[in-house]
Chains A and B, each alone.
Chain A
Amino acid sequence: MENITVKIDGKSISVPKGSTVLDAARAAGVYIPTLCHMDNLQSIGACRVCLVEIEGSRALQTACTYPADDGMSVRTTTPRVRSARRTVVELMLSAHNQECTTCGRSLNCELQKVARQLGIQQSRFEGEKPGAVIDESTASIVRDSSKCILCRRCVTVCRQVQGVGALSPAKRGFDTVIVPAMKKELADVACVLCGQCVSVCPVNALHEKESITDVWEAIADPGKHVVVQTAPAVRAAIGEEFGMPPGSRVTGKMVAALKAMGFDRVFDTDFTADLTIIEEGTELISRIQGGGTLPMITSCSPGWIKFIEHFYPALLPHLSTCKSPQQMFGALAKTYYAEKMNLRPEDIYVVSIMPCTAKKYECTRAEMESAQGVPDVDAVLTTREAAKMIREVGLDFANLDNQDFDLPLGISTGAAVIFGATGGVMEAALRTVYEILTKETLANIDFTAVRGLEGVKEATVQVGELPVKVAVANGLSNARRLMDKVSSGEADYHFIEIMCCPGGCLGGGGQPIPTTEEIRKARMQAIYEEDASLPIRKSHENPAVKALYDEYLGEPLGHKSHKLLHTSYTPRSQYPETADEEAVSILVE
């Protein structure tokens, strides 16, 4: 590719043609602050924090949008640039709810960081602030317009990455707000609650609905037996919250921390991930052999489930009827485990630590109640919330000694760990389905064709006589591509894995902020390392799962399984049902 040479603060740098000034500055090692910019996703020059002086240009320009040109000379630190950036951020602050000390993003806020870097000690501008609209309508996500700086990142990620488009700017000028369609609340539109908007929000205008208080109360309640389950992707990321580099494997430290916090038992969602493979794998085999609806599609990701219910309701019969591992765990905790421990289901309090905001919503679904009158899962904490609680008890996380999960719901395999990465459920299923169908032992259990961050992956695996065609998608706009193929009948796959978030659960909306492409890769590597390090790496070889079938469930897809581990889905509309008058008036504006 053709290269051009640009001078940044006097330093010459050669960059590919088509680069922006921001790209060139980064290549030259010159830091330019940004707020609205997202690599490869959004360069709209909205926040105007990345202003630079370009020789020969009258006004200042935004580095994120300005094309670098051969021979161009750029200055990034002149008094004019610094003063303009400062004024812009002061204006932003004058319209921002500046309750920093009590803000959920304090010390991890991009606006705070930029303000500090620019040496802003006060905002000289006074005046009206935008009205605070706080939307707590969903179980997962809270919108707080008083914190919003209108960077549009949430709008872009929802539209372009997830293909959902639940958020848009409405009204104009100073009154501009980011709102769901028709100015409805989030719960009343086709939002899948994936939390990717939360993940990219530079401030705290979007955040998860916290369950921290509920969980502390349950732990403090002597009448409650509080068990916690941790999802596979959490262990590959939670270290980041404590200053450890992305990709640090901290399973043992995490278990130690949770025990120190006072949970009665620390269990592993990986146990039910293995169980999911047995149930889902058996379901796949029975659909293939019995002429059931194909391709069968995974059902672990609650954001994905809500997406298909809203946008492709006609394809619901393709979904596996298996509950997600989180919900299987909850169901078993309140039945199998309760009986084993001689506890009443209502005295058991199940907490999940999930990389996910949609899981908070999933556990409130009416179908998710296996023991009478009590939900299977009582509270869901995101990875970030769990970290907050660990900080609250003052643990030195990075230096904790490793501890092991409790028995029996803490035993798992490498196949379960890789659920945290896109392609992982598929790979785990293939390991099991292959061996069950062929009754042979796999020579190589690494199905690398389904690994990696690519949006859509396809593979054909020879299972005995049958070439099994599979596809894997991560991120909902990629899911759309596959679903359109399924709708049109073009897709001749047997099995499709879909994860709502880019990269799978490791890039979930509940994971530490920031989550970038590099960080996703590091977390993914940690997950596959964890898999490779475990003695058992196939779900059907999990001894605790075998014991569960022997002692309690009987057989896969059996009567008890059906009752506890399988579920049903609800077709939903993608449009709000009614438009109130105020909403219509906004559209007319």
Chain B
Amino acid sequence: MAVTRREVRLCNCRESITTGYSGAPVILRHAETPVFNFDTLKRVLESADRTVICRAACQSALTERGGSSSVGEVWQAAQAAGTVICNAAGFEPGCFKERVLLETSPFRLIEALAIAGYAADAREGIIFLPQQGGMPERIQSVIAEAQKEGFLGRNIQNSGFNFNIRVFAGTGGYICREESALRQLMQGSRAEPMPENGEPPIIHTIEALFQAAEIVENGASPERDTRLFSVSGDVLYPGLYEAPYGSTLRELIFRFAGGMADGGRLKAALVGGPGGICAGAPDIDRRLESKDLPPGSGAITVLSQSRCMVDTVQGIAAFFKDESCGLCTPCRVGTKRLHEVLSWWKSGAGDAADLKLVQGLGEVMQDTCGCSVGRSAANIFMTSLGHFYNEYQMHLAQKSCPANVCRPESKEI
């Protein structure tokens, strides 16, 4: 399949966005300055009925994360005068689409949320921004500008539609990607995925919101079914790429991101962030779609042969140990134990029999944790065993690290 770099209306950009992401400030290579543009909203309010919009959105393949119903169905089922929430706190290691969209396209975000609000017959939109990198002041000023120009507030563009947006800058952490945890936080409680009663409000991820606006504007079409992929790690051009759903890993790494950096050879790619899948070099021609290699958040972290798998997985285990909310036992204690045991393996402790025990722990975590964060915490470890079982064995049985990253022989426990 030929990949063409087509116009990305999705982000108000003329070309695909490429960013460098290494924790340092993001440098946008092709992004324009955010443009004040509410044409789509204006057209929608002038011409379209909310039922028409919902019906159009029902045709699309766009569903919410883990959701079984399309965006259109979600809007249709919404109660009048409700709230539409944009959860922009999806940041995770290797995933930076939220940040790029917030930086480059804040007006489109406001417009897309207003369109969703119109479709769902809502009165209020809330943008939940993460604690770090959320830029609440900037989003506030964009909201203020939209209000001033009459694209938010009462009777927007004389359409009779009342809609306002406020920013909720939270401290909830990674767990807030879990919708019920986010709702708990917004109600003033601790961010934990508690079982809830009653009709939940509509929560969209930032990417889904942009895609929904596209669909409302241009209609659903398989040709326009694209995803944003955050490609990072040992590639020549790390960045955010919009690519057709079902692109292969090879296309993302070699065509979009320019191939491996520094002449390195591909060892593995972590697809879908820290809770995703560890793909090996033989997976290179697999398609990034739910029935093959599910792209999840669209994060693709590319690892060259210079990386150690035990070390990489230990880092991911540290992330989940720190981000566990502490509510349920298998996540609270399981993430801690997983991190501890990987740290021991790195430093040369443990023996081959451990591997089976920890594999069993991983299975139970996937099977029993209370939310998607906990259930995915052992995913990379579990999937890494498929391609890299020998590498674990070498750490455990021979006390050696093939990539020379860990120093198992130098430490004693």
Contact = CB atoms under 8 A, between A and B. Distances in A.
A, B from the same assembly: yes
Interface of A: 43-49, 51, 59-60, 62, 65, 80, 83-84, 87-88, 91-92, 94-95, 124-125, 127-128, 149-150, 168-169, 171-176, 588
B195 A92 contact: no
Contacts of A46: 327-329, 370
Interface in B352-376: 357, 360-361, 364, 366-370, 375
A176 B191 CA distance: 13
25 contacts: A45-B195, A46-B327, A47-B328, A48-B368, A59-B375, A84-B368, A87-B361, A94-B337, A95-B333, A125-B357, A127-B340, A128-B336, A128-B340, A150-B332, A169-B326, A173-B321, A173-B322, A173-B325, A173-B326, A174-B324, A174-B333, A174-B336, A176-B326, A176-B332, A588-B171
A578 to B, nearest CB: 23
A588 B131 CA distance: 11
> How big is chain B's contact interface, by range?
20 to 34
B287 interface: no
B331 to A, nearest CB: 8
A62 B366 CA distance: 14
A59 B366 contact: yes
Q: Is the interface of B mostly helix, strand, loop or mixed?
A: helix
Given A127-B337, A172-B173, A176-B332, A48 B326 contact: no
B330 interface: yes
A309 B93 CA distance: 51
B330 A91 contact: yes
B194 A44 contact: yes
A586 to B, nearest CB: 12
Nearest to B175: A172
A43 B195 contact: yes
A88 B195 contact: no
Given A62-B370, A65-B195, A175-B326, A88 B364 contact: yes
A87 B364 contact: yes
B335 interface: yes
Contacts of A49: 329
A167 B357 CA distance: 36
Contact of A92 (B194, B321, B333): B333
A124 B356 CA distance: 12
Contact of B333 (A59, A65, A94): A94
- Residue among A49, A65, A88, A149 with the most chain B CB within 10 A? A88
B190 interface: yes
B323 interface: yes
B334 interface: yes
Contacts of B375: 59
A124 B357 CA distance: 8
B326 A150 contact: yes
A-B residue pairs, 8 tightest by C-beta: A176-B326, A173-B324, A174-B336, A91-B333, A87-B364, A127-B340, A65-B195, A173-B326
Contacts of B326: 150, 169, 171-176
B335 A174 contact: yes
Interface string B60-74: 000000000000000
Given A62-B370, A128-B336, A88 B321 contact: no
A588 B172 CA distance: 10
A60 B370 CA distance: 10
Given A124-B357, A125-B337, A45 B370 contact: yes
Contacts of A62: 370
A174 B332 contact: yes
B329 A91 contact: yes
Contacts of A94: 333, 337
Contacts of B330: 48, 87-88, 91
Contacts of B334: 91
A550 to B, nearest CB: 60
A172 B176 CA distance: 13
